[in-house]
Amino acid sequence: MLAEHGAVSENVALAMADGIRSRAGVGVGVAVTGIAGPTGGTPEKPVGTVAVAAMTSRATRSHVFRFSGEREQVKFQASQAALDMVRRMLVTS
């Protein structure tokens, strides 16, 4: 999966969320993978590209975001996006 999609992808984030949910025996699995910078970006996946996934037994959501700012800002925005994704899943399920 890493070779086909790269570490920063919805597919990898979904696999991570599923893995943590099953291994930890919890109801919700959340995963974040991205390029927070200041280096590591490419033209296809620039700094600020973050894949977030959340999974429960009833629902699965994922999204690739393009955040701006310095490393700490990207990390903060990613954490907020992940928490909001989980919140929205729980509210609608």
Tell me what pLDDT residue 21 has: 97
The residue written with tokens 């099953």 in the block is 22
Tell me what pLDDT residue 39 has: 96
Give the global pTM: 0.94
Domains and CATH numbers, the chain: 2-92 (3.90.950.20)
**DSSP alpha helices (H): ranges in 1-93?**
2-5, 10-24, 71-92
**DSSP alpha helices (H): ranges in 6-70?**
10-24
Percent of the chain with pLDDT strictly greater than 90:
94
Calpha distance 18→8 (Å, rounded): 16
Q: What is the pLDDT of residues 9-21, one digit of tens each?
A: 999 999 999 999 9
Predicted confidence (pLDDT) at residue 3 exceeds the cutoff of 80: yes
Q: What is the pLDDT of residues 33-50, one digit of tens each?
A: 999 999 999 999 999 999
88 φψ region: left (φ > 0), alpha (ψ -120 to 50), beta (else): alpha
